[in-house]
Copies of this chain bind each other. A is one copy, B any other.
Amino acid sequence: MGVDRGELDRRLERFRETARKAGVRLTHQRLEIFREVASSIEHPAVEAVFRAVQARISTVSLDTVYRTLWMLEDLGLITTLGPRRGVARFDANLRPHHHFVCIRCGLARDFENPAFDSLGVPGAVKQYGDVVNTRVEIRGVCRACSRGATGRTRPSVNRKPGQVRRTKLADQK
């Protein structure tokens, strides 16, 4: 949740249209999976999408969620943030925007800022390849993490007695 109704409807309409043009079938599962990502501001990972969709379609399988999310990305309907392997997180916001990312728990939030949308590309960078887009990533510690002893999110190496034990990464709220 978090995306207003009008925007969500626009995203759904775009999905239907794109799917039709691409000759991709509009199944119940796909619709619900897309709806979940498109209505969220959480940049959910696969697991979170799966649980949410499962609440509505109890028989949906995890691999369908994987396949569908990558298909949506192929169609250009969502983008990923973060890695290309490992835990990917999805973003249905196609407008130019930027991210706040918590370096402890991984929480991610969009924000828009016109001034950041038009940063030039330094000449030295052009040699690396063809630029697709530019995003500003503001890294910090989110409120929940700075408040709580919410624990760490990555392995503590050579953990000493007093240290907090690793807990399964809470569901990116």
Residues of chain A at the chain B interface (Cβ within 8 Å): 66-68, 70-71, 74, 82-88, 100, 102-107, 109, 111, 113, 116, 119, 121-122, 124-125, 127-143, 145-146, 153-158, 169
Contact = CB atoms under 8 A, between A and B. Distances in A.
Copies in the complex: 2
A157 B125 contact: no
B154 A70 contact: yes
Contacts of A71: 157-158
Given A83-B82, A100-B125, A132-B103, A67 B140 contact: no
B158 A129 contact: no
Nearest to A147: B129
A68 B155 CA distance: 11
A142 B128 contact: yes
Contact of A130 (B119, B141, B156): B141
Tell me which of A88, A105, A121, A157 has the highest count of chain B C-beta atoms within 10 A of its own C-beta: A157
A115 to B, nearest CB: 8
